[in-house]
Amino acid sequence: MKFLRKSIQIVLLCVSIPNTFAQLGFCNGNSGEAIFTETFGTGTNYGPQLPAGTTTYNFIGNSGPQDGEYTIGSNTFSYGWNLPSDHTPNDTNGKCLIVNASFTPSEFYKTTISGLCENTTYEFSAWLINILPSSGCGGNGIPVNVKFEIWDFSNTNLLVSGDTGNIFGTSTPNWQQYGLVFQTLAGQSSVILKMLNNGVGGCGNDLAIDDIVFKSCGDSVVIENNSGVNSFEACENDMISNVQLTATPDFSVFSTHAYQWQVSSDELVWTDIPGATNNIYNAPAPSPSGTLYYRVKFAESANNLQNSSCNSISDSFEIIINSPDTPIFNTIPPICNGSTFALPTTSLNGISGTWSPLLNNTSTTTYTFSPNSGQCAQNQIMTVEVLQPVTPNFAAINPICIGDTVSLPTTSLNNIIGTWSPAIDNTTTTTYTFTPNIGQCATTQTLTIIVNQPTVPLFNIVTEICEGEPLNPLPTISLNNIIGTWSPALNNTATTTYTFTPNEDECSSLFSITIDVHPKPIIDFEDYYAICSNSENTEITNPIIATNLSTTEYLFEWTNEIGVIVGTDSFYQPSLSGIYNLKVTNLSSGCISLDSTEVFEGSPPELNIIQTSSPFSENGIIEVIAIGNGSYEYSLDNGSWQDSSLFTNVVSGNHIITTRDKQGCGYSSIEICLIGYSKFFTPNGDGFNDNWTIKGSSCLSYAVIYIYDRFGKLLKQLNINSLGWDGTFNGEKLPVNDYWFVIKYLEPNATILKEFKGHFTLKR
């Protein structure tokens, strides 16, 4: 089972003794550019197969190599291995060499490096990972153990070797780098690099290899300036000349040194500086500003200096010349003459400094900000405008009347905003002070509001009137020339108090006046009065027309229709028909009321029937005519009185029509029959609707009734005087059902016998 995961663990053991066996280690000095690099490529597929002779393992084109097999891939999870990715930084789907180690020692990887320099130190390194997790093989997985070897070109002489020791599985993938340092011999320009299996066979000993690198190894060379630091930063304003750089080797590898200085603006592309071949170099600063990087390429001899396989490169020295920052400040708004203001000693972008000249709050001035030393910043200027105060302008407030609502504007005519004091007093003349809000260059201002005492309007007294008499409009201008309106609206029917309200621009008080309206005498006559006589004119009754008013308070004058005074009392009893007029005068107010009424001769009515509906009609109708000298009204069966002599929807049966004179001159009644029948009856012995019969049959001269069941069987025969049918046959109660009848009858004064058929319902 095999697992892989990245991690970095660098073992720094420096052993550089040629032609000997040694533990692994790394170059302690500066290295050159990589002479050889193997990252195994990128892609999602497995492969390709390594060139022949590169490994003694067999290629398998999938993620699951068996013992003694390998593949090239970006990850694997076969056999429980944990390798989610390769080691190479920043590549996508990067691949690595995945090996299932064999039971016997064998070569994982072999390659030849040519073009080397003699007597030169090199470093051979690679990244390894045990891809079997610590839990694999029951926690007893065989660790990975790899031997690094360097052979001469003939592959017969082992120059140097070293073992990684046991690399145990971890719970998470953990890539580790291992290296081997050696020195070529005189005349030696090629070597063979090998990585071999030291582990034993069994469950485990599975690994991945990535990022194999071979590069030169030289002294540790430090570049510093005269101050002993490895970088330099200054401001463009500092007028910087050249910066002296010194390269100092530690002689850990080389006994002599040849130098070539290089310059870069991005640390990616480096350019040799012509003539700069000493360990000291006076580097020019970027102009006018920017960043430059300097380094030295070095070797043990000048012949090896230009050979990338033989030289080493120091760390870079950075020279930064900064453009001076411009201090940023918020604009100071214009101030008013004498207002206090301050200028900040630190800009919005963090630059500290001082201002000159001294602050002046009486006139517009331009100030210069000088940054404190040690900051890469330039001077800045700011102009502070000093304004002369403005006097607020306000429209004059007209004099007001005490109690009137008044307000003062909080914004002047020239747009100055502020507040007034003291609080407005609408009862007395007051001078108010306007104070502008802070932030406005304006002076205070005063304004006086005159408060006048109200004038009392004067009006002539309005005389009293009698109810209903014309009432002249009240004057809208007082005797002392105050204009206003009256309320409520004039009323000539009742005593009313009216209020005069002056116009808003009048400083005047309210005024009230009451106009007395005396009521006229109340005369409540009937429209008609009657001199009643009986139908034979043997008895006559004269009406009394009464006012019910007191003779001590009122004066009365009765006249007939030709203007002759017929009475002076509070009542009058006429003996003749005609029109009578009355004039009533209130003795205290003089108010007069006039009224009249008509007196006619009346008598009891004589009644005749002019129309009734036909027998057995659905809508019973009765209409009578009253003959007599009077005004009459009518009632059916002692019901409510009506002016019409026509009655509709009258039920069948016997009825009484009563007619009376509206003035009390008697009444008359007449009996009328409407022939009909009940639609149902309920013979249950409760005393109500127990028998079925023809209604109004007493109005008929002759009648006989035959009752049948629905099959035509004769059940009962009734005559005109019968009490009706009780719903039995031969003493037995008949069931609930519909029953049919036939009536043969003679109407009063008729000689032709008529017949009517119908049906009704028996309910219990």
> What are the Cα distances from residue 220, in Å, to 30, 248, 314?
5, 8, 7
> If pLDDT is split at 50, 70 and 90, which confidence band does 576 have?
confident
pLDDT value for 423: 95
Of the listed ranges 22-36, 254-268, 577-591, the least confidently predicted one is 22-36
- pLDDT more than 70, % of the chain: 96
Average pLDDT taken over every residue of the chain: 89
pLDDT value for 530: 83
User: Can you tell me which residue has the tokens 């001899």?
Assistant: 301
Give the list of residues 6+ apart from residue 452 with CB closer than 8 angstroms, or none. Answer: 399, 400, 401, 402, 507
In CATH, what class is 678-762?
mainly beta
Look at residues 73, 125, 134 and name the one whose alpha carbon lies nearest to residue 98.
73
Q: Do domains 20-217 and 606-674 have the same CATH topology?
A: no
Q: Quick check: helix, strand or coil at residue 139?
A: helix
Q: Mind listing the pLDDT tens digit for each residue in 385-397? A: 998 999 999 999 9
Look at residues 384, 387, 407, 386 and name the one whose alpha carbon lies nearest to residue 395.
407
**pLDDT of residue 430 exceeding 90:** yes
Q: Mind listing the pLDDT tens digit for each residue in 65-92? A: 998 999 999 998 888 899 999 999 999 9
Q: Mind listing the pLDDT tens digit for each residue in 530-563? A: 888 776 665 678 888 999 999 999 999 999 999 8
Look at residues 255, 252, 229 and name the one whose alpha carbon lies nearest to residue 319.
229
Q: How do the domains of the chain map onto residue ranges?
A: 20-217, 221-322, 335-387, 400-452, 475-516, 528-602, 606-674, 678-762
- pLDDT more than 90, % of the chain: 62
First-to-final CA distance of the chain: 105
Look at residues 135, 97, 199 and name the one whose alpha carbon lies nearest to residue 1.
135
Full 3-state SS string of 436-500? ECCCCCECCEEEEECEECCECCCCCCCCCEECCCCCCCCCCECCCCCEEEEECCCCCCCCEEEEE
d(CA 541, CA 25): 159
State which CATH number among 2.60.40, 3.10.50, 1.10.3470, 3.40.50 fits the domain covering 528-602.
2.60.40
pLDDT value for 15: 32
d(CA 131, CA 71): 14
Quick one: 163 exposed, middle or buried, by C-beta within 10 A (0-12, 13-18, 19+)? middle
pLDDT value for 537: 61
As a whole number, mean pLDDT of residues 506-513 equals: 91
As a whole number, mean pLDDT of residues 257-283 equals: 94
d(CA 130, CA 164): 12
> What are the Cα distances from residue 26, in Å, to 21, 23, 182, 217?
15, 10, 10, 9
pLDDT value for 14: 30
**pLDDT of residue 226 exceeding 80:** yes
Look at residues 648, 594, 595 and name the one whose alpha carbon lies nearest to residue 618.
648
- Tell me how many degrees the CA angle 417-421-426 measures, rounded to the nearest 5: 115
Q: Which helix (H) or strand (E) holds 291?
A: strand 290-299
As a whole number, mean pLDDT of residues 99-117 equals: 90
d(CA 428, CA 406): 12
pLDDT value for 567: 92
CA atoms within 13 A on the CB side of 491: 14
DSSP state of 206: E
Highest mean pLDDT among 201-205, 306-310, 452-456, 495-499: 495-499
pLDDT value for 153: 92
State which CATH number among 2.60.120.200, 3.30.365.10, 3.40.50.720, 3.30.565.10 fits the domain covering 20-217.
2.60.120.200
pLDDT value for 13: 30
pLDDT value for 535: 63
As a whole number, mean pLDDT of residues 197-223 equals: 91
**pLDDT of residue 255 exceeding 90:** no
Tell me the one-letter amino acid at 691.
Answer: N
As a whole number, mean pLDDT of residues 452-473 equals: 90
Q: Quick check: helix, strand or coil at residue 79?
A: helix
Of the listed ranges 156-170, 315-329, 419-433, 606-620, the least confidently predicted one is 606-620
- Assigned architecture for domain 606-674: Sandwich (2.60)
Q: Quick check: helix, strand or coil at residue 276?
A: coil
As a whole number, mean pLDDT of residues 660-669 equals: 83
* Superfamily holding 221-322: Immunoglobulins (2.60.40.10)
> If pLDDT is split at 50, 70 and 90, which confidence band does 718 have?
very high
